[in-house]
Amino acid sequence: MIDRIVRSSPTRRVIELAVGLSRRGATLSADPTFDYIEIDVPHVIAHKRRLLERSAAGRVVLARPNLQLVAGDVLVDALPARTPAVVVAEGLAMYLAGDARRALFARVRALGDVELVFDLTPASDEPPPGAIGRALERAMKRFTGGQAFERDARTRDDVVAELGAAGFADARAIAARDVARDWQLPFADRATPVVIFVARATRS
Ligand SMILES: C[S@@+](CC[C@H](N)C(=O)[O-])C[C@H]1O[C@@H](n2cnc3c(N)ncnc32)[C@H](O)[C@@H]1O
């Protein structure tokens, strides 16, 4: 879903926050019209570099002038002020408490001309946790010293309102279950609670 939003954007610059080991940047930067900036915390960026350096194909990716790997904390360090851009945050928002999530929206909004896309399944879209879900949550709390997935994003409208309050326009939620066939998503027949949010901002 995020790939589709990125590919359909009129801008070819992508700033991917909390990129982890995602291959999206390596894939899209094969097209030289893309300018791709990946950000994650230093040890993850160092690890990703090491992995890419291990193969000839990885070294080709690392040598691309249109792919930049940046070490930084997206909640603290200055974000690259290179716009217009699509800003992607996959697999991040569900770990942020409400204050941190709203602060991140404001930081991205402050960049100016951006389209933000991220995944976050609001509590109202989640099926009630079964026995396995409750056990996983207990295990996660034990390993993280108490932190579980954030559940303070209660509804899609709550998140859309937060994006509006941060100064984004046209904020909308797109649920996988509503577009799975039209967008030819993999495993379109499987029920999934995945929701992505897309919002635009212009330079103010
Ligand atoms: C669940 S992984 C998602 C990785 C990737 N986006 C994906 O979807 O496969 C979460 C990533 O967020 C990164 N992360 C968490 N907090 C961050 C922060 N404050 N600044 C930068 N990266 C952060 C972690 O290092 C990790 O790589």
In-domain check, residue 192: yes
For every one of its 204 residues, what pLDDT tens digit does the chain have, with 9 covering 90 and above? 999 999 999 999 999 999 999 999 999 999 999 999 999 999 999 999 999 999 999 999 999 999 999 999 999 999 999 999 999 999 999 999 999 999 999 999 999 999 999 999 998 888 777 777 778 777 766 766 655 555 677 999 999 999 999 999 999 999 999 999 999 999 999 889 999 999 999 876
Report yes or no on 172 lying in a domain: yes
Question: Does ligand 1 have an atom closer than 6 angstroms to the CB of 40?
Answer: yes
Residue listed under structure tokens 């217009």: 84
> Would the pTM count as exceeding 0.75?
yes
pLDDT at 132: 76
d(CA 20, ligand 1 centre) in Å:
5
Cα–Cα distance between 189 and 135 in angstroms, integer? Answer: 27
SS3 annotation, 144-196: HCCCCCCCCCCCHHHHHHHHHHCCCEEEEEEEHHHHCCCCCCCCCCCCCCCEE
Is residue 128 domain-resident? yes
In a domain, 31, yes or no: no
Burial of 95 (0-12, 13-18, 19+ CB in 10 A): middle
Q: What is the pLDDT of residue 145?
A: 61
Q: Which two tokens stand for residue 144?
A: 């993280």
Domain with residue 150: its CATH number is 3.40.50.150
> How confident is the model at residue 149, as a pLDDT?
58
* Per-residue model confidence (pLDDT) at position 147: 59
**Residue 94 CB–ligand 1 contact under 6 Å:** no
The reply to whether ligand 1 has any atom less than 6 angstroms from the CB of 38 is no
Please indicate, yes or no, if residue 116 is contained in any of the structural domains. yes
93 Cβ below 6 A of ligand 1: no
**CA 30 → CA 16, 21, 23, 111, distances in Å?**
16, 17, 11, 26
Number of domains within the chain? 1
**Structural domain containing residue 165:** 2-18+74-201
Residue 6 in any domain: the answer is: yes
Asked whether residue 134 is assigned to any structural domain, the reply reads yes
- The answer to whether position 51 is within a domain reads no
104 CA distance to ligand 1 centroid (A)?
13
Q: End-to-end distance of the chain based on CA atoms, in angstroms? A: 28
